[in-house]
Structure 1
Amino acid sequence: MKNSKASDVAILAIFIAIMVVVQILSQIVYSVWPLPIVPTLLHIPVIIGSIVLGSKKGAFLGLVMGIISVVNATVVTLPSSFMFSPLQPIPGTNHGSIWALVIAIVPRILIGVFPYYIYKMSKNQFGAGLAAFVGTATNTVLVLGFIFLFFRAVTKQTFGALLASIITGNSIAEVVIAVILTMAIVPALLKARGNQ
């Protein structure tokens, strides 16, 4: 039992290290990236961690992803930073919004919960792919939905524009990458842990 817990903590630490590396590399690569599509990749370790380690540890990984998002938005000022960090002022004001923490953290925690239960219904490669789809959709729909809900007055976004932004090249790229990687990695990790 102790070995199993120690193994889970080690795997959790590895996932967190992967997330930090993915974040740093994404910043570097996307600064010179020539294409208009800039997919988020940080949610993929959260999805895989959720399936392999369970919903509680998945939720913790999601929380870490949310914290990384807040720190990044606080340190790197972009036009959208105020949506993810309460320390970045809302355009036209000299203060941030506490709702930025909800946008940055709540969807990310749920990315770590939903995939575990989706995969549990169908413990195979298809289930892993479906879990990746649901996890990615959770991130996209909730983040954009919360931005619409809390910052509509600032972004001047209509509901139609919200729907259009959910179905973009970025969203499609994120789903495809997440599904492919999750379907490839999850069976190998579960086999290595003796869960399959």
Structure 2
Amino acid sequence: MLVIHLLSSFVFNILPVPIKPTIVHISVIIASIIYGPRIGAILGALMGVISIVTNTIVLLPTSYLFSPLVENGNFASLIIAMVPRILIGITPYFVYRLMKNKTGLILAGAVGSMTNTIFVLGGIFVLFSHVYSGDIQAMLAAVLGTNSIAEAIISAILTVAIVPALEKLKK
């Protein structure tokens, strides 16, 4: 997860692309499907810790949303950084277990990604709209309309491509 985080941060900061999708959560989704919701939740918590550390060290205008240790950050920052990421490790497992086929893998990848998006953006709206000085609905809609769609598609494609190979190796 750390390697994926560092490489994706490096690549998306160098390439002149209009969106910068998060891809660290894909490893959490895949682990959830292969090893179950407990391991998935643990890796999701690790992803949350990575987010807290990154936003504490690399200060961006949005760092307060994910780190209680920066200006305007508080306990709500911990909720936004941790809860959605833990849930990423749980929801894909149950989606895939309901279907147990290729469609289930595609949906599990997309649902895992959207779990993060919905809970992070929802948390920002509920817990931090008073801090944001601009039009928070417009900002959240822009993220939802760009990054989140790309993340869901990438997650679905990589999940359906990687999980069958890992399940064979596991056996």
Query: What TM-score range do you get, normalising by the shorter chain?
Result: over 0.9
Report the alpha carbon displacement of residue 42 of structure 1 after superposing the two structures with TM: 0.8
Which of 88, 107, 114 is residue 111 of structure 1 equivalent to?
88
Are residues 1:48 and 2:30 paired? yes
Give the aligned partner of residue 20 of structure 2.
38
CA distance in 2, matches of 1:163, 1:33: 23
151-160 or 98-107: bigger deviation: 151-160
Distance 1:192 1:76, change over 3 A: same
Given that 2:117 and 2:144 are in contact with CA atoms closer than 8 Å, whether structure 1 keeps it comes out as no
Aligned residue for 1:78, secondary structure, equals coil
CA distance in 2, matches of 1:119, 1:46: 14
Give the aligned partner of residue 54 of structure 2.
72
Report the alpha carbon displacement of residue 159 of structure 1 after superposing the two structures with TM: 7.3
Distance 1:156 1:141, change over 3 A: farther
Distance 1:131 1:34, change over 3 A: same
CA distance in 2, matches of 1:99, 1:178: 27
Aligned residue for 2:130, secondary structure, equals helix
152-161 or 22-31: bigger deviation: 152-161
Fraction of identical pairs, as percent: 50
Are residues 1:142 and 2:119 paired? yes
Given that 2:42 and 2:89 are in contact with CA atoms closer than 8 Å, whether structure 1 keeps it comes out as yes
CA distance in 2, matches of 1:113, 1:86: 25
- Aligned ranges for residues 80-91 of structure 1 at < 5 Å? 80-90=62-72
CA distance in 2, matches of 1:159, 1:82: 15
Given that 2:121 and 2:140 are in contact with CA atoms closer than 8 Å, whether structure 1 keeps it comes out as no
Matched length: 171
111-120 or 23-32: bigger deviation: 23-32
Given that 1:145 and 1:162 are in contact with CA atoms closer than 8 Å, whether structure 2 keeps it comes out as no
Given that 1:125 and 1:183 are in contact with CA atoms closer than 8 Å, whether structure 2 keeps it comes out as yes
Which of 152, 158, 166 is residue 181 of structure 1 equivalent to?
158
Report the alpha carbon displacement of residue 160 of structure 1 after superposing the two structures with TM: 4.5
AA aligned opposite 2:35: L
Given that 1:114 and 1:135 are in contact with CA atoms closer than 8 Å, whether structure 2 keeps it comes out as yes
Distance 1:167 1:62, change over 3 A: same
Which of 104, 124, 131 is residue 154 of structure 1 equivalent to?
131
Higher relative contact order (CA 8 A, sep 6+): 2
AA aligned opposite 1:118: V
CA distance in 1, matches of 2:137, 2:71: 27
CA distance in 2, matches of 1:186, 1:53: 11
- TM-score scaled to structure 2, two decimals? 0.94
- CA radius of gyration, larger in: 1
**Residues 90-117 of structure 1: per-residue CA shift (max 9 Å, x gap):** 1xxxxx3111000000000000001000
Distance 1:54 1:119, change over 3 A: same
* Structure 1 portions without partners, runs of 5+: 1-18, 91-95
Report the alpha carbon displacement of residue 173 of structure 1 after superposing the two structures with TM: 0.8
